[in-house]
Amino acid sequence: MTGQTHTTLVYAHRGANREAAENTRTAFDNALRYAIDGFETDVQLSRDEVPVLWHDRYLNKLGLPDRHIDDFDYEQLRQMDFAQHFPGAQPEGIMSLQDFLAAYRTRCRLLIEIKNRVWETPARRQLKVRRTLELIGAAQDGRVLVSSFHLASLAYAHGIAPGCPLVYNLEPEQGVADVKQVLASHPFLHGVCLHISTLDEAMATLLRAWNKSIAVYTCNSEQEIRRALDLGVDILISDLPQKALQISGEGSAAAAGPPG
């Protein structure tokens, strides 16, 4: 998507995470029951360098508050129950990025966030970027976007895969001045992903002037969803994608007017 369109795509945040444990196959399958446009998910590396889907810094939800994903090999992670924190959920092992892409890339759009951590070495961060891009592949049709809060990782990704559309994730405290600086120094960026609290007319106008895609996280309230829609963002990420779709549909029906 570019700044030329006012069509807003609705992405399920880590799947239907209010109905199943986030970033699990059940959460993604449940989300596809709605007319969503895409998924947002998170990639980290296992100790033996397999890209897997997990958001948090620690494994608190598995009863391991002092351990990271990269403390375990992939086969060990597969044997753990990554749905145990969700009431009534059936056990599910961790999902690999390879399995996720095989299951969903032809069924909807994807926004894949690379989670690079402060305790990781630069070499480890770069390895995570390479592994992710290798799995996505060279063919780019705009349906798979890669994002990160770590700007250096995006610059590295652009150097090795210049055709891959890259999105910079902004922290809630970053504003228009920060975006101007980032776009000036990193013009290759496909777009930015803003916290919904920082989205306003000035920010939208700036990004449109640069012809950059606008994504926003995480729009759950009616007020947040309507603000994103009114400002014509390209991607609306929500924990409640069905709610966002309903509100978006109401706007489309109103714009169409009564039947002739």
CB of 95 within 8 A of CB of 129?
Answer: no
Q: How far apart are CA 111 and CA 237, in angstroms?
A: 10
Type of residue numbered 230: D
Strand intervals (E) in the chain: 9-13, 38-45, 51-53, 109-114, 144-148, 166-169, 191-195, 213-217, 235-238
Q: How far apart are CA 240 and CA 242, in angstroms?
A: 5
One digit per residue, the tens of pLDDT, for the chain of length 260 reads: 333 347 899 999 999 999 999 999 999 999 999 999 999 999 999 999 999 999 999 999 999 999 999 999 999 999 999 999 999 999 999 999 999 999 999 999 999 999 998 889 999 999 999 999 999 996 567 899 999 999 999 999 999 999 999 999 999 999 999 999 999 999 999 999 999 999 999 999 999 999 999 999 999 999 999 999 999 999 999 999 999 999 999 755 444 444 44
Residue with tokens 């069924």: 107
CB of 81 within 8 A of CB of 11?
Answer: no
What domains are there in the chain, each with its CATH number?
Answer: 9-255 (3.20.20.190)
**Short-list 160, 150, 144, 82, CA closest to 115:** 150
pLDDT in the model for residue 1 = 39
pLDDT in the model for residue 256 = 45
**Short-list 91, 105, 97, CA closest to 43:** 97
- In angstroms, the Cα distances linking 115 to 25, 69, 163, 205, 243 are 19, 11, 21, 29, 27
C-alpha 56, offset from chain centre? 14
Cα dihedral: 148, 40, 171, 69 (round 10): -60
Q: What is the pTM of this model?
A: 0.93
Write 224-227 long-range contacts (CB < 8 A, 24+). 224/196, 227/196, 227/199
Q: How far apart are CA 187 and CA 210, in angstroms?
A: 9
Q: How far apart are CA 24 and CA 251, in angstroms?
A: 31
